[in-house]
């Protein structure tokens, strides 16, 4: 290299190292706490891929800052959650936590995030308290509250004129709160939930409960299951011959990311959720194309939520030009943002939960296809949040 060139290169290096140092730079450390094993493993992968896709689309950086990933498999196991999240907070010293899928694990993450004042973005778990009684300025959600898809499906069920419903789910926060949302809207619309059935997470021994449904003959069954458990439930419901006699409705997780594995048993099932695969917008089409090219897999709602978690972080970092030490300004920008999601644009409620349209969808082939709006700009009530 010519001497002049070397000097120029040296000057450039000094300049930018100094600027980076002024920002307290080095990479932003992102702690991904997601399930890599168990019934929700595929959901964790989709979220991670969605997050990384957005970062990759920005050239591998957000607001000029490199992103460094730290990972923990949370196994969707609440009893290990506090130890697991502390690996990211205390051992790895992450700047921001992103996680998780399971509501029980996410509640422990939110507590640890509050205790340590660590920024947290929840890319799935719907536990109502995260953007309710536990809300905090540095806690955000890019997904939904459990109440939202439950409520929207209750609106759909009442609108179809069903009067007597049974519900079936796993006995933990996500199942219970989704059923509560369903019941609220269904009974407001003139229906009655005659019985709630449940089993422990992540059990899939559904036979005794299906026998009870057959005996009670409700007008409709509402189910919350997801991941591997949803695959098994939808197949068992069909194999028991119930699909011919008792319509099955669910929050959209019942058929999201699962249609290939469910095969014919899921075809025609209607669900409500904040995403539909075939939303024909430039934003969604580009997202799905990039996702499929990069990961050789179809995007689903989990991928969207991961992608949007990265967008929210990017919006915050851009507002402070990558200077993470200006965290208050960063958080304020995130709270005020309009997020240009593949699901459609959304804003955040005062407790940092998406205010979003809930779609009625129908399973057709490998897609959950848009059928209409189940609930427009649905905002979680954020019960108990004082911020």
Of 102 and 232, the one with the shorter C-beta distance to ligand PHB is 102
Beta-sheet strands, E only, within 118-213: 119-122, 139-141, 164-170, 192-199
Give min distance, CB of 104 to ligand PHB, in A.
Answer: 7
Give min distance, CB of 253 to ligand PHB, in A.
Answer: 3
Of 233 and 324, the one with the shorter C-beta distance to ligand PHB is 233
Of 103 and 284, the one with the shorter C-beta distance to ligand PHB is 103
Of 275 and 291, the one with the shorter C-beta distance to ligand PHB is 275
At 82, list the tokens: 């506090």
Residue 94 near residue 31, CB atoms below 8 Å: yes
Of 110 and 226, the one with the shorter C-beta distance to ligand PHB is 226
Of 149 and 191, the one with the shorter C-beta distance to ligand PHB is 149
Give min distance, CB of 126 to ligand PHB, in A.
Answer: 4
Residue 246 near residue 220, CB atoms below 8 Å: yes
Binding characters for ligand PHB, 34-73, by CB under 6 A (x = yes): ------x---------------------------------
Give min distance, CB of 315 to ligand PHB, in A.
Answer: 24
- Give the footprint of ligand PHB on residues 248-277 (CB under 6 A): 253
- Give the footprint of ligand PHB on residues 309-368 (CB under 6 A): none
Residue 102 in the binding site for ligand PHB (CB under 6 A): yes
Give min distance, CB of 344 to ligand PHB, in A.
Answer: 19
Rounded-to-integer distance, Cα 109 and Cα 308, Å: 19
Of 66 and 184, the one with the shorter C-beta distance to ligand PHB is 184
Give min distance, CB of 201 to ligand PHB, in A.
Answer: 8
Rounded-to-integer distance, Cα 120 and Cα 334, Å: 12
Of 257 and 314, the one with the shorter C-beta distance to ligand PHB is 257
Which of 28, 88, 96, 101 is the binder for ligand PHB (CB under 6 A)? 101
Q: Is 262 exposed, middle or buried (0-12, 13-18, 19+ CB in 10 A)?
A: buried
Rounded-to-integer distance, Cα 176 and Cα 183, Å: 10
Q: What share of the chain is helix, strand, coil (3-state, %, to 5)?
A: 45, 25, 30
Which of 226, 279, 310, 360 is the binder for ligand PHB (CB under 6 A)? 226
Q: How many CB atoms lie within 10 A of CB 161?
A: 11
Alpha carbon of 132 to those of 29, 107, 118, 144, 345: distances in Å?
A: 27, 11, 18, 12, 22
252: nearest Cα among 321, 382, 156, 133: 156
Contacts of 88 (CB under 8 A, 6+ apart): 31, 33, 70, 72, 94, 97
Of 125 and 135, the one with the shorter C-beta distance to ligand PHB is 125
Rounded-to-integer distance, Cα 312 and Cα 181, Å: 27
Sequence length of the chain is 387
Residue nearest to ligand PHB (CB): 226
49: nearest Cα among 41, 344, 26: 41
Which of 84, 103, 341, 353 is the binder for ligand PHB (CB under 6 A)? 103
- Give the footprint of ligand PHB on residues 109-148 (CB under 6 A): 124-127, 146
Give min distance, CB of 261 to ligand PHB, in A.
Answer: 14
| Residues making contact with ligand PHB (CB under 6 A) | 40, 101-103, 124-127, 146, 174, 226, 253
């Amino acid at each position: 290299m010519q001497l002049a060139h070397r000097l120029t290169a040296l000057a450039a290096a000094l300049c930018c190292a100094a600027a980076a140092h002024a920002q307290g730079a080095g990479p932003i450390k992102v702690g991904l706490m997601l399930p890599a094993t168990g019934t929700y493993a595929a959901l964790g992968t989709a979220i991670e891929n969605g997050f990384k896709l957005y970062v990759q689309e920005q050239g591998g950086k957000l607001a000029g800052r490199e992103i460094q990933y730290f990972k923990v498999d949370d196994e969707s196991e609440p009893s290990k959650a506090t130890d697991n999240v502390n690996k990211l907070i205390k051992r790895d010293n992450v700047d921001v936590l992103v996680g998780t899928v399971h509501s029980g694990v996410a509640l422990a993450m939110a507590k640890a995030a509050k205790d340590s004042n660590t920024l947290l973005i929840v890319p799935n778990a719907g536990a109502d308290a995260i953007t309710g009684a536990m809300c905090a300025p540095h806690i955000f959600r890019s997904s939904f509250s459990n109440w939202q898809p439950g409520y929207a499906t209750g609106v759909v069920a009442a609108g179809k004129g069903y009067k007597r419903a049974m519900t079936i789910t796993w006995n933990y926060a996500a199942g219970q709160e989704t059923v509560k949302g369903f019941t609220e809207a269904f009974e407001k619309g003139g229906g009655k939930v005659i019985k709630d059935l449940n089993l422990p997470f992540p059990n899939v021994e559904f036979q005794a409960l299906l026998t009870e449904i057959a005996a009670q003959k409700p007008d409709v069954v509402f189910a919350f299951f997801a991941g591997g458990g949803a695959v098994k439930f939808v197949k068992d419901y069909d194999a028991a011959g119930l699909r011919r006699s008792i319509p099955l409705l669910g929050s959209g997780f019942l058929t999201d990311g699962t249609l290939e594995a469910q095969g014919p048993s899921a075809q025609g099932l209607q669900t409500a959720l904040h995403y539909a695969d075939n939303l024909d917008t430039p934003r969604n089409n580009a997202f799905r194309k990039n996702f499929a090219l990069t990961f050789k897999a179809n995007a689903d709602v989990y991928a969207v939520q991961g992608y949007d978690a990265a967008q929210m972080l990017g919006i915050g970092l851009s507002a402070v030009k990558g200077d993470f030490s200006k965290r208050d300004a960063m958080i304020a920008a995130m709270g005020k943002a309009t997020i240009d999601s593949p699901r459609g644009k959304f804003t955040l409620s005062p407790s940092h939960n998406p205010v979003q349209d809930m779609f009625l969808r129908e399973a057709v082939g490998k897609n959950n296809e848009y059928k209409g709006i189940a609930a427009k700009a649905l905002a979680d009530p954020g019960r108990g949040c004082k911020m």
